[in-house]
Structures are given as C-alpha cells and as structure tokens.
Amino acid sequence: MAELTVGKKAPALSLLDQDGNRVKSSDFAGQPVVVYFYPKADTPGCTQQSCNLRDALPQLGKLKAVVLGISPDLPAKLKKFDDKYGFGFRLLSDPEHVASEKYGVWQEKSMYGKKYMGILRSAFVIDAAGKLSGVFYKISPKDTVPEVMRVLQG
C-alpha cells in the first residue's frame, strides 16, 4: 500500500483493545486522534514511545486528543504491557495486519541481512473531521510526542 498523506481521509479502524473490547475509529468522531504503530509490546523503543505518550496525556487531553497505540500483539500481551506501565489509553491488537496495511506501515524490513515483514514505527494525527493532519513514517520514539504536539497545536 502506498503511504498516506496529509489531507487524505484517515482509514477506518475496527480492532480489539487490551481488554478485548472492539474499538472503532468512528467512536472518536469529532475529536482529534493520535494513532501510533509500534512493532512489539514491551521492547525498549516501543516502551519509550508509549511511555512518552502516557507522560504527555495531560497536554494531549487539553487539546481533546485521544491516543491509540497499535501493534500486531494479541490483547493478552497488550494487557500485560498496559498493566506494567499504566498507559491510560487504548492499545489495539492488529495480528492480521489489517490496520497496518491500510496505513502503509506493514513493510519489508531488514536486520542482519535477513528480510522480513514488520511494522514501520509511525504516528498519525487525525483531525476532528477524520482527515490526516499529521503523517510520520519511520518516526523515532523520542520524536513522536513533539511531532504530534506540533500538529495538534497548529
């Protein structure tokens, strides 16, 4: 799938969260949403990125923004991750890569010369009208909060 661009309608989501509840993007109509994709729960970069977003929740809340984290992990693993760090936002399970493919983040990667498919760490800001106002492919964990805040603050 081609990468998404600012101004396009955000792809619809319908995934299970860490508690096994179905979460749909339409649940957040009329408010900004930060969606970030991370490769694997409870790994160093993913933990840093998720904890940074957790720590920014007061500022994000003032901007009425909801945070959704998405990974291929199953809900039970996401629950353990959330219980360990107390994120305060929904972690969504995408084991079939449906959302990841819609957002163009399920890509071929390479490590030690071996090629494999995986999540490209990315973040997206969806405005209250459901359009992408921020698109950040291959974002670093430390840059996620500053970049999404910049977009949300306009």
Active site residue 46: yes
Among 13, 35, 46, 125, the active-site one is 46
To 10 degrees, what angle do helices 141-152 and 44-55 make?
Answer: 30
C-beta separation of 42 from 84 below 8 A: yes
Closest CA to 13 of 67, 85, 94: 94
Kindly state the tokens that stand for 23.
Answer: 């979460």
Residue 10 has a CB neighbour count (10 Å cut-off) of 21
Q: Which amino acid is at 133?
A: S
Q: Which residues are catalytic?
A: 46
